Structure 1
Amino acid sequence: MKYKLTDTAVKAAKTKPDGKPAKYTDGGGLYLLVMKSGKYWHFDYTYEAKRKTVSFGVYPDINLKTAREKHQAAKELLARDIDPSAYKQQAKAEQIAITENTFEAIALEWFTKTSPQWSQSHSDKTMSRFKNDVFPWLGNLPIATIDPTTILKCLRRVEERGALETAHRIKQTIGQVFRYAVVTGLRAPRDPTADLKGALPAYRGKNFAAIIEPVQVGQLMRDIQAYKGHLETRVALQLSAYLFQRPNEICAMEWAEINIEKALWSLPAEKMKMGQAHLVPLPKQCLELLEEIRPLTGHRRYVFPSMTDSTKPMSNNTVRQALRRMGYDNDTMTAHGFRAMARTLLDEELEVNIAYIEQQLSHAVKDVNGTSYNRTKHLRQRIAMMQQWADYLDSLRAGTQVIPFKAKAG
């Protein structure tokens, strides 16, 4: 087909003398429509017995050569029985979907839907990792275009600063975002983190240091009882040992959560790592400690308010630093180590049913049917266990013996 227009003619093309649009035909249905607002390339064609028009863009952004190339491509689509207008709309929609579905947009959508089930601390850590370690490198990229190599470069930056464990956790979170994108409309073709298996060095986590020998535990309890620092810190140490909850849970204990009459501490779901409400039976030793500290902090929100800002809870570091001052370094005993201490001795020395221990540690425990225990499951047995544990610690402090709780098989 012989085209009619030239570059010079296109450049000189004007509206009609009266200002109305003028049409400059190039051939084969391609023409330049000149209006007061600009010059537009159009292609008129027939598809399924209907007269249709598709636009190729505005001159001079689309010059004569490019307009003819688009015209030829449209004719080839027609030869394959494809409507050029519908094809253009579909391509435009796909491009919009790609550019709008950035990794950051999908990640924030995933975070909004899943984070209500998490503890506040886990939620904060996840968002912090996104903002500091992921979004600056992947955030603006269309999620469907991100490949394993791009993700690995992001992870290497974290690894190279010595945070290998964090790099592994970030890889896991990125994978969760991709899988969410796949199942919510195929906004990503697949999870590319699956190709990164073995790409990062293996992380061998270090367990929290804990004292698990009964004689040494007795000495620890004597040292805590003789602690010369603030009363709040000493009581926090003692409750850490008696109750073996996570350090942040102990430090953020609130008076409103404590039922003295029922001897129960009720932790709301938002405070818990697993995102589920938790009940902690309070042995008589703990009730006595709470009464001891009540005149000092009972009028506050927190049982252990911060020394610098009474509207905030005690820092987790307070217990750790107290242990250091008593001579227990980080390789000997940690604030989190009270949990491992209780887990080991309740099992090996007092022979308590492991399910009761795991539930009291607020771990994800399921029964034989695969159902998660609710917070009141085995409460009677756990109340007895907690009192037995407190008595056992007191006996170790005094150097006496205690008869085991019960057989494990119960």
Structure 2
Amino acid sequence: MTLTATEARAAKARAKDYKLADSGGLYLFITTKGAKSWRFKYRFAGKEKRLTFGLFPEVSLSAARDRRDDARAILRENKDPAVEAERRKLAAIAAAGATFKAVAEDWQRDEAPGWSPSHTARVRFRLERDLYPALGKMPIADITGPMVLRELRKIEKRGSIETAKRVKGYVVAIFKRAKGEHLVGADAVLGISEIGDALKPTPAGSKQPSLTKIEDLIELQRAVDRSTAGITTKLASRLIALTVVRVGVLRTATWDEFEGIDWDDPDAPAPDAMWRISASRMKLDVEDKGNEAFGHEVPLSTQAVALLRQLRSITGNRPFLFPGGKSWREPLSDSAISSLYKRMAGGAYKGRMVPHGWRSAFSTVMNERAAELSRDGDRMLIDMMLAHVPQGMSASEWAYNRARYLKPRRELGQAWADLLAN
């Protein structure tokens, strides 16, 4: 016969501990002092074991039976209910201390080695300003998509549409970290990911502006040359135009990344001049930043080599090509070139061109040129020169393609430099 709740309440202390059986291994254990606890007897790996479910009447008879049934289900999966109970207990303790801020700080600490200092500072600033005040102290397991969306809406109200999207990306990455540590489930990550559909679309024309006519680009360079900016900033603007690398890569470039140039002989030819940029400095998925096969090689045009030789006489005794204005130990400010474009020529280029725009300019001009000359294969070369890694391409495939197409990439880069020199 099974135990009844009435029998459990009526059980009194005796001279010795005893138990009242229920069913399926469940029984009520009564001590000599009258304490009553639910226990479950089972066998696992050939050994008899016991699991305690709690005190009666705090844990009712029906609740104890539910826990027994759960334990028996675990046994059917060839798992030890006691071990699983301990694992859940530890997970609950960990989750209780796993606030959103704690997980976010761990995520930043581990990712920062693959980020530039400026990006690291931006991520920290945005989290501290936009998310920590409302969500920082909450257990990450308690945070829902609507809660995050509410904070992103506040960013949108400031007019920072793109920033809201970036911050949402940080939150997704943080939740993926939490999922890996078993602090949240896959549904939580999916719920955060899906709020992107509720964010405002990027307004038309709010992308980084760019000039796309060669004559306009040439005039821009002339305006840079006529400006009152320092010589290194002017040369930085011209080198980014010739190499179409990202601003962060350019301003943190070091002299040891360049090869194939005889610095002692300014007239020596440099047909194999190359700028080798490590994967850690490229805009890649975090897991690819540690794989040097995803590094980027920039074949240098004759114009780029001449510029570098001129720059070498100015900053060649410094590690950075473009040292900062305050200290040679720091690189050029990430806003130096963009600020120049905004103020020069009486503000004529403000809202029309930014340093990143050289990449769009190169893509537009050289794709139009490819169409005019029926050079269909140039499209792939253009993407490779912009370091656009095709989705799903492995490191070995990417390295092989770059090596295979080095000569045509060099020719295309020279053609681009020649257009700008007209």
Q: Same fold (TM over 0.5)?
A: yes
Compared with structure 1, are the counterparts of its residues 27 and 147 closer, same or farther at alpha carbon in structure 2 (3 Å cutoff)? same
Could you tell me which residue of structure 2 aligns to residue 70 of structure 1?
59
2:224 is equivalent to residue 224 of structure 1: yes
Alignment of 1:117-128 (within 5 A): 125-126=122-123
Letter in 1 for 2:243: L
Q: Give the superposition deviation at 1:264.
A: 0.9
Range 267-276 or range 104-113, more displaced:
104-113
2:143 and 2:352 map into 1 onto residues whose CA distance is 45
Letter in 2 for 1:326: A
1:41 and 1:113 map into 2 onto residues whose CA distance is 49
1:77 and 1:52 map into 2 onto residues whose CA distance is 16
Compared with structure 1, are the counterparts of its residues 363 and 135 closer, same or farther at alpha carbon in structure 2 (3 Å cutoff)? same
Q: Secondary structure at the match of 1:335?
A: coil
Q: How many aligned residue pairs are there?
A: 368
Q: Give the superposition deviation at 1:271.
A: 1.2
2:318 and 2:143 map into 1 onto residues whose CA distance is 50
Compared with structure 1, are the counterparts of its residues 228 and 249 closer, same or farther at alpha carbon in structure 2 (3 Å cutoff)? same
Q: Give the superposition deviation at 1:42.
A: 3.8
Q: Secondary structure at the match of 2:163?
A: helix
Alignment of 1:329-344 (within 5 A): 329-344=349-364
**Of residues 408, 413, 421 in structure 2, which corresponds to 1:381?**
408
Q: Secondary structure at the match of 1:363?
A: coil
Alignment of 1:249-328 (within 5 A): 249-259=249-259, 260-261=261-262, 262-274=272-284, 275=289, 276-323=294-341, 324-327=343-346, 328=348
Larger Rg, first or second structure (1 or 2): 1
Could you tell me which residue of structure 2 aligns to residue 204 of structure 1?
203
Alignment of 1:51-90 (within 5 A): 54=52, 56=54, 67-70=56-59, 72-73=61-62, 76-77=65-66, 90=84
2:269 is equivalent to residue 244 of structure 1: no
Q: Give the superposition deviation at 1:269.
A: 1.1
1:381 and 1:360 map into 2 onto residues whose CA distance is 10
Could you tell me which residue of structure 2 aligns to residue 394 of structure 1?
421
Q: What is the TM-score with the length of structure 2 in the denominator?
A: 0.70
Letter in 2 for 1:97: A
Range 181-190 or range 270-279, more displaced:
181-190
Q: Deviations over 1:348-372 (max 9, x none)?
A: 2465611111111112247999954
8 A Cα contact 1:178 1:188, kept in partner? no
Q: Secondary structure at the match of 1:265?
A: strand
**Of residues 163, 166, 169 in structure 1, which corresponds to 2:166?**
169
2:53 and 2:19 map into 1 onto residues whose CA distance is 14
Could you tell me which residue of structure 2 aligns to residue 158 of structure 1?
155
Compared with structure 1, are the counterparts of its residues 320 and 197 closer, same or farther at alpha carbon in structure 2 (3 Å cutoff)? closer
Q: Give the superposition deviation at 1:331.
A: 1.4
Letter in 2 for 1:284: T
Compared with structure 1, are the counterparts of its residues 108 and 33 closer, same or farther at alpha carbon in structure 2 (3 Å cutoff)? farther
2:30 is equivalent to residue 31 of structure 1: yes
Could you tell me which residue of structure 1 aligns to residue 383 of structure 2?
358
Compared with structure 1, are the counterparts of its residues 349 and 56 closer, same or farther at alpha carbon in structure 2 (3 Å cutoff)? closer
Range 269-278 or range 168-177, more displaced:
168-177
Could you tell me which residue of structure 1 aligns to residue 25 of structure 2?
none
2:394 and 2:72 map into 1 onto residues whose CA distance is 57
State the identity %: 25
Range 22-31 or range 249-258, more displaced:
22-31
Q: Secondary structure at the match of 1:70?
A: coil
Q: Is there any run of 5+ residues in structure 2 with no aligned partner, and where? A: 1-5, 22-27, 74-79, 263-271
Could you tell me which residue of structure 2 aligns to residue 64 of structure 1?
none
Q: Give the superposition deviation at 1:252.
A: 1.6
1:243 and 1:269 map into 2 onto residues whose CA distance is 17
Q: Give the superposition deviation at 1:302.
A: 0.7
RMSD: 4.3
8 A Cα contact 1:30 1:41, kept in partner? yes
Q: Deviations over 1:19-73 (max 9, x none)?
A: xxx9798988453566xxxx9654567668979573736xxxxxxxxx3242534
1:47 and 1:218 map into 2 onto residues whose CA distance is 83
Compared with structure 1, are the counterparts of its residues 229 and 174 closer, same or farther at alpha carbon in structure 2 (3 Å cutoff)? closer
Q: Give the superposition deviation at 1:239.
A: 1.1
Q: Is there any run of 5+ residues in structure 1 with no aligned partner, and where? A: 10-21, 58-66, 396-410
2:32 and 2:155 map into 1 onto residues whose CA distance is 56
